[in-house]
Amino acid sequence: MTSVSETELRAEIVRTCLRMVELGINQGTSGNVSARSGERFLITPSGIPYEEMTPEQIAVMDVDGTYRGPCKPTTEWRIHAAIMRERPAAGVVIHTHSLYATTVACLRRAIPALHYYVAVGGGPTIPCAEYATYGTPELAASALAALHGRDACLLANHGLLVVGATLGETLRRTFDVEILARQYVYALSAGEPSILPDDEIERVRLKMRTYGTQEADDPGLVRLDAPPA
């Protein structure tokens, strides 16, 4: 995470939650968001609708389950704590019950490489974690296993889990996976989609490292007004 004050990060978490509702990838009190803050992490409270949530209600947690704040953290705090503990590069965790990702999760299927953009999840599939009761250590362990080598996974009969460096990046990835899930559901309604090979997804994943930046990654491009070296 970029170094920002805890106050700013609290407000950004609330804005992210509201944006999730606007994008149609979460509703009511389902889903949750956390963001690393120094040695601890901030996490959304349990049972408070996003439209009513305030920055002051965001809890501060340690990975051992201790917290500070007026509201107890989401029931899925164990998932967030496990990821923050085991993946030091993870700055943000977003969990949603988005319609299409949850639909695929209820089929207990991975999202395959029917579209090259599956690479946003870090590999050739968006895997599906084994089912466990919500809020339990078993679910946290299942999610962590499914996220091995990945930045997104489905939770069987439950929803979607996404990891990233920043709130903005992770929210975009969450929305992208929901679109992939929608495409998969639509494709299944028409037949069986053609699946891209793993090596192609790896090529795409590497290309995506510079996508959206101004780094030169296309040898066919020549900038005519480039300043002299």
Q: Going from the N-terminus, what domains does the chain have, and what CATH number goes with each?
A: 6-207 (3.40.225.10)
Mean per-residue pLDDT, 168-180: 98
Residue 36 pairs in a beta bridge with 41
Structure tokens, 62: 């340690």
Catalytic center residues: 76
pLDDT of residue 216: 57
Distance between CA atoms of 8 and 14, rounded to whole angstroms? 10
pLDDT over 90 at 81, yes or no: yes
- Under 8 Å CB-to-CB from 73, ≥6 apart: which residues? 43, 44, 45, 46, 59, 61, 67
Inform me whether the pLDDT recorded for 124 exceeds 90.
Answer: yes
pLDDT for the residue 3: 64
**pLDDT tens for each residue of 204-229:** 999 988 765 656 567 777 778 867 66
pLDDT band at 113 (very low <50, low <70, confident <90, very high): very high
Long-range pairs of 203-211 with CB within 8 A, sequence gap ≥ 24: 204/116, 204/117, 204/119, 205/119, 205/122, 205/123, 208/119, 208/120
* Bridge-based pairing state of the strands 40-43 and 32-37: antiparallel
SS3 100: helix
